[in-house]
A and B are shown apart, each in its own frame.
Chain A
Amino acid sequence: MSMLTDPKGEAAAAVSREWPLYEVFIRARGGLDHKHVGSLHATDARMAIEHARDLYTRRQEGVSIWVARSSDIAASDPEEAEALFEPARDKVYRHPTFYDIPDEVKTL
């Protein structure tokens, strides 16, 4: 917890060694999608949901919680960011705003 009670940081080390990390997704209202809000440590999914409830919905932020083990999430490699994302930069025609809409079109 704090430097005062745990000068060597053993508790923190023990937690990261034993308690896996979970990513938390909260649905703010019915009809909206779940949004990533953060992560926490827990021993299992049930505990992760309880912790998420206590950490992330204290001020009525949500009506539904998803949790997923962080290690189960596959992520893109930051090293490959250029190859993955830059080719989209010069393809402005993929944005709808690229196109002039004829005046005759009333609804689109």
Chain B
Amino acid sequence: MSGAAVTAEPSGMAALGSTPPLCRYALRLGDLALILGQRLGEWVGHAPVLEEDLGLANIALDLIGQARLLLTYAGEVEDRGRSEDDLAFLREQGEYLNPTLVEQPNGDFGETIVRQVLIDAFQLTLYERLTSSADERIAEVAAKAVKETRYHLRYSSSWLVRLGDGTPESRARVQSSLQRLWRYTAELFEEDDLDREMAARGIAPRLAEVRSAWSACIDEILVEATLERPPDAPYSWFGKRGEHGEHLGYILTEMQYLPRAYPGARW
């Protein structure tokens, strides 16, 4: 999915053009939480031990909770009468604005942990700054989410240290997962027009500032985990603009099946 090579707009992109910037920004934050929560939910019933099953499910539920607040707000800002459920379950793939990293498959437990550390540290450093957002609602969500995220990072980083500084087998596995997933981290900090506008309005921090805080946080964890930080590489992932690879389609198929097959279903 090289952005430069794609000429036709992915489905849904046309609709996004007229969406208010603040709505799109709330969708970016919300979709990150939603898709990662859905991914982590795949572990339920399959984690290595019962205790980790519950640990991962707890994090997934926190993320779904964050997504609910953010998508509800996005719907209000958009002002077209769409609820959190409409936004979560009835959009097309090209309208999801999550970064590509969170839609990557779970892999083995170690790979899930590596993905989690990278994204937890991102969410934490971002939410910390969003607590002083000029937008009251975003600041409120961040104030709640920052506490949850602090725990998520405590959980994921202690596992990464355990696996990295563990057996030769566990170390080799998480190092190779880190190698595989690192390429998706650059997108998190790539500022586009929307990010710049949010920063100019005092709603969001500059991503360069988030990047340096994230980088310091990750370095500290990697040193303790005796893992090597992979070199930054050129990237071509644009999930946060709605251009997704093959994985998101499968996630959405599973996630959207029930609400689309039984519109308005409740329990």
Contact = CB atoms under 8 A, between A and B. Distances in A.
B249 interface: no
Given A50-B158, A58-B58, A42 B47 contact: no
A54 B54 contact: yes
B64 to A, nearest CB: 15
A15 B47 CA distance: 13
Contact of B51 (A2, A5, A40, A46): A40
Interface residues of B, number: 16
Interface residues of A, number: 18
Contact of B58 (A15, A40, A42, A54): A54
A6 to B, nearest CB: 10
B55 interface: yes
A37 interface: no
B55 A11 contact: no
A47 B156 CA distance: 11
Given A43-B162, A54-B55, A58-B58, A15 B155 contact: no
Interface string A62-91: 000000000000000000000000000000
A55 B46 contact: no
Interface in B143-190: 151, 154-155, 158, 162
B117 to A, nearest CB: 15
B59 to A, nearest CB: 9
A11 to B, nearest CB: 7
A18 to B, nearest CB: 10
Which 3 interchain pairs have the tightest Cβ spacing?
Answer: A51-B51, A54-B55, A54-B58
